Amino acid sequence: EIVLTQSPDFQSVTPKEKVTITCRASQSIGSSLHWYQQKPDQSPKLLIKFASQSFSGVPSRFSGSGSGTDFTLTINSLEAEDAATYYCHQSSSLPTFGGGTKVEIK
């Protein structure tokens, strides 16, 4: 099983600040890494697929990068509505998720 390790676990950020979340895979997964946003009491939503491809309708302030074992989700100019927990997910082999990163607005 491929293990995904996210960091940090929690981040408290002021609006308009830049947020960076990392996801490290226990072995190389190419670009088979996807990012989701889950707001409280809501289902997860796909933000980024295959490391850097934005999903339809996702605001341009969300971007992804990386390949192999190290990946990054960046939120440029954080907005209040971005308060959520963010998860990475790999599909290189049977799916697994990272532990999540909770982003709080200061």
Q: Which residues bind another protein (CB under 8 A)?
A: 1, 32, 34, 36, 38, 43-46, 49-50, 55, 87, 89, 91, 93-100
* CB of 7 or CB of 77, closer to another protein: 7
Question: Tell me, what amino acid is at 59?
Answer: P
Nearest to 22 by CA among 75, 59, 61: 75
* CB of 15 or CB of 95, closer to another protein: 95
CB of 91 to another protein, least distance (A): 5
